[in-house]
Structure 1
């Protein structure tokens, strides 16, 4: 009878020990998660969500003719831009190759060259340079030659 009592008490001690361990585990889990939640919600409400920057192709996809003839620059560049002359897109539309004329302080370079870093997420469209180039008046020589051609045809 004594052995049965010893066996019974050891079995109850083992079950109590198991319940204590599981209760302590649950208690530590609940306290760590409850203390982490308020701080994470507070930090997320204070910080604005950062906007994902775009690569050259993601910027140019909304421009007419995939941005050919428009000016693009990296966001950290000062007084430097590219006028896009050619774009070679891959099938997904987010990757490819691009060529353009480099402009530094509004002065164009000699010939178009391949643009490096087109997949980096730091490109922006420069509307002021594109509009100024579109609004340039035509040269007086071209209007004079057009008038001469009309006079000869008449």
Structure 2
């Protein structure tokens, strides 16, 4: 019997690439409030990424320490086979308040990144882009970009993880 599209993806497609991110992670998160400046915050971060629903999704739970407070967050990552896009639901106690940021990648865009938006205090919504990259099996980069309505995107949050126990 032929494998289903999901089974194929889990064996050697986008879902297989997501499975490489499963594990315990430690690293550093930097936060920028203004583009082209030094980071406003640098935090130590620990994360746990686990598969959910037979590998259809990844659940990322993390805590970051700024020296005076622990910040917590969660994300659900997935690859939508029918729409051929990366999807994310993300929330934390620092950026998203009581809401979830929902992001989806463009159909033709390679890699794992999704675009969402959030309401500004005044004026039109701002954009937000989340990107996951894994250059080696023991590293993971999660980057988040702020996109003002009238300007180019700028790096807002960057987490550089290494697999726990790898040095």
TM category (shorter chain) comes to under 0.3
TM normalised by structure 1 equals 0.26
More helix as a share of residues: 1
Q: Which has the larger radius of gyration?
A: 1
TM normalised by structure 2 equals 0.25
More strand as a share of residues: 2
